[in-house]
Amino acid sequence: MNFFEKIMMRILKAEAHFLSSTEYDLHHLLLKDAAHETIDYIKNKMPNAMSFPSGGEHLLDYAISEIEIDGDIMEFGVLTGRTINHIARKLKSKKIYGFDSFEGLPDDWSGHYIPKFGLSQGGNMPKVEKNVHLYKGWFSDTILQYQKENTNDISFLHVDCDIYSSTKDIFDLLGPKIKSGTIIVFDEYFNYRNWQQHEFKAFQEFVEQTKIEYEYLAFNATCACCVRIK
């Protein structure tokens, strides 16, 4: 067996090991099921939506470019500050409002692998651009504080809080500020196990309760999508 044949044999053995190790891996199989469910949803509900790759901030940049109404720019789920700083640099003339406990999730991400208080930053707030204002605490408290200080409608909403309860707080408390033309980006809308029970569920409940109409503008290759309120 020559050198080339030895290399090919190693590659084939590695591929065989991978296939055998994933064939009965429940986590892997459930992720595949979630992907198929998501593909069906996109085909049926989002036929005209733009499709972006997962790397970089292609979807976020597109969503920002679609802003057409005046109003506040908000992000829920700041974590390290990466995306809120990106938004702030794109919209330098606007104040960007960010919300996060920086103590992690308030509940288990059910069906996922991140438990209550997962994704914690130890209470530490990140360095942010000058046009960013951060509200530290649970959404049910900090949204009320924000409402005492601001009366504007919402033009852009970045929902990156992962779980149902947190997303529900957003729509329960800020629903009246979401108007025709509001752009909403969901960072974990679909394409993972139990996706129908989190950001997706909270938004669909809001739609059902308010009878508001919306259109899907775009999605990326992982879990995110963008909608515009009609």
Q: Would the pLDDT of 78 be above 50?
A: yes
For residue 21, being part of any structural domain is answered with no
For residue 5, being part of any structural domain is answered with no
Residues in the chain: 230
H-run or E-run covering 132 = strand 132-136
Name the least confident of 10-14, 100-104, 160-164. 10-14
Range of the domain at 137: 46-229
Q: Which whole-number Å values give the CA distances from 71 to 89, 153, 154, 213, in the listed order?
A: 17, 5, 5, 19
Q: What pLDDT shows up at residue 195?
A: 98
For residue 26, being part of any structural domain is answered with no
CATH number of the domain where residue 104 is located: 3.40.50.150
Task: Count how many domains the chain has.
Answer: 1
For residue 166, being part of any structural domain is answered with yes
- Backbone dihedral region of 68: left (phi > 0), alpha (psi from -120 to 50 degrees) or beta? alpha
pLDDT in tens, 22-76: 678 898 899 999 999 999 999 999 999 999 998 889 999 999 999 999 999 999 9
For residue 55, being part of any structural domain is answered with yes
The answer to whether 97 touches 133, Cβ cutoff 8 Å, is yes
Strand partners, 100: 136
The C-alpha angle 174, 89, 101, rounded to 5 degrees, equals 45
Q: What six digits make up the tokens of 129? A: 């651009």
What value does the mean pLDDT take over residues 132-142? 98
Q: What six digits make up the tokens of 30? A: 């459930």
For residue 37, being part of any structural domain is answered with no
For residue 31, being part of any structural domain is answered with no
For residue 122, being part of any structural domain is answered with yes
Q: At what angle do helices 58-65 and 82-90 cross, to 10 degrees?
A: 40
Amino acid code (one letter) for 222: T
User: Please, which pLDDT band fits residue 161 given cuts at 50, 70 and 90?
Assistant: very high
